[in-house]
């Protein structure tokens, strides 16, 4: 049997001269000087996150709480979005006083 897998969305962006990698579904991030470096760094951070959850015996619980479900092939997949949208919300000026 293959190793169980987790299917994650990742995003990469530039911040302060670094490339930041983010796996928002599990709130894990890392960075690198280049996009390939950031990918490797994010993979390592995700591996450490998984390892930490496994050591505490909480991986399955954490994944379920984060909206993942185990598929018949053993892969953990995040719930499907009905829509993904950008929203702009007005902030009252007094918030910055």
Task: Report residue 97's pLDDT band, with 50, 70 and 90 as the boundaries.
Answer: low
Mean pLDDT for 65-83 is: 92
Model pTM score? 0.82
The CATH code of the domain that includes 24 is 3.30.160
Counted domains in the chain: 1
Asked whether residue 91 is assigned to any structural domain, the reply reads no
Asked whether residue 76 is assigned to any structural domain, the reply reads yes
Asked whether residue 89 is assigned to any structural domain, the reply reads no
Asked whether residue 92 is assigned to any structural domain, the reply reads no
Task: Report residue 3's pLDDT band, with 50, 70 and 90 as the boundaries.
Answer: confident
Whether residue 1 has pLDDT greater than 80? no
Q: What is the pLDDT of residues 16-71, one digit of tens each?
A: 999 999 999 999 999 999 999 999 999 999 999 999 999 999 999 999 999 999 99
Asked whether residue 96 is assigned to any structural domain, the reply reads no
Distance, CA of 14 to CA of 79 (rounded, Å): 28
Domain that holds residue 38: 6-80
Asked whether residue 29 is assigned to any structural domain, the reply reads yes
Q: What is the CA radius of gyration of the chain?
A: 17
């Amino acid at each position: 049997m293959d190793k169980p897998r987790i299917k994650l969305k990742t995003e990469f962006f530039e911040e302060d001269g670094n490339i930041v990698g983010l796996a928002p579904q599990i709130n894990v991030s890392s960075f690198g000087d280049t996009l390939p470096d950031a990918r490797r760094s994010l993979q390592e951070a995700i591996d450490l996150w998984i390892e930490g959850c496994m050591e505490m015996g909480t991986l399955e619980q954490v994944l379920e709480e984060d909206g993942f479900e185990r598929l018949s092939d053993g892969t953990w997949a995040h719930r499907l979005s009905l829509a993904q949208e950008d929203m702009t919300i007005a902030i009252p000026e007094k918030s910055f006083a």
